[in-house]
Amino acid sequence: MLSEEQAEQVRKQLFKQIESWPEEKREEAEEQIEAMSNEELEQFIKENMENQEQQCIFCSITEGKISSFKIGESQDSVAILEINPASKGHSLIIPRSHSSKPDKKLAEQVIKKLKKLKPKKIDIIPGNLQGHEILNVLPIYNQESLSKREKASQESLKGLQEKLNKVKEKKPRLKKEKPIPLEKLPKAPKRIP
């Protein structure tokens, strides 16, 4: 069971999390939090921790439950555009399960696609979010880093996804034949009238 000190810390954290809620909902939630006994508060935390683990955002993305801007996939991983990119084309390689490692071959395919954007270089930065080992594929144009990010609009991400997924049609190359000099052409027999 939670001690009085732990319960008070949990209440403070919960109050902080609901600060941005609309006023009437926030007041109602604050009253409920204050009215909870330490046992009820502990049970509330346990239930919400279980729900958080079940609702891993990366698992939801790889399972298609949450929409994303997919730019590639393999049997083991999915490549998506980051919604809070550090640079144009910033992508994530996410394994389909918590215990898997991200597919490095998929990362190489994404790099080839990102070269269309003409960055100076492309960095691959490993990370771990919500128990998933991920790869950040980060195009570098100037001095971008993962610490500076901005939310991208849905329209810009959709346009970028279309651009990166567009397959360049290869036109068949016709072999140019060198003309045969006239003197090397076979001579036709003379016609007798």
Give 117's pLDDT tier (boundaries 50, 70, 90): very high
Number of separate helices (H) and strands (E) present in the chain: 6, 5
pLDDT tens digit sequence for 26-45: 888 888 888 888 888 888 77
Instruction: Judge whether 79 and 71 are in contact, CB under 8 Å.
Output: yes
**Domain map of the chain by residue range?**
4-54, 66-165
For residue 20, give both structure tokens.
């941005």
For residue 40, give both structure tokens.
């009820």
What is the fold of 66-165?
HIT family, subunit A (3.30.428)
pLDDT tens digit sequence for 57-102: 888 888 888 889 999 999 999 999 999 899 999 999 999 887 788 9
Q: Please list, in sequence order, all residues whose beta carbon lies within 8 angstroms of the beta carbon of residue 43, skipping any fewer than 6 positions away.
A: none
| pTM of the shown model | 0.60
Q: Please list, in sequence order, all residues whose beta carbon lies within 8 angstroms of the beta carbon of residue 173, skipping any fewer than 6 positions away.
A: none
Predicted confidence at residue 1, as pLDDT, reads 66
Give 123's pLDDT tier (boundaries 50, 70, 90): very high
For residue 183, give both structure tokens.
């003197």
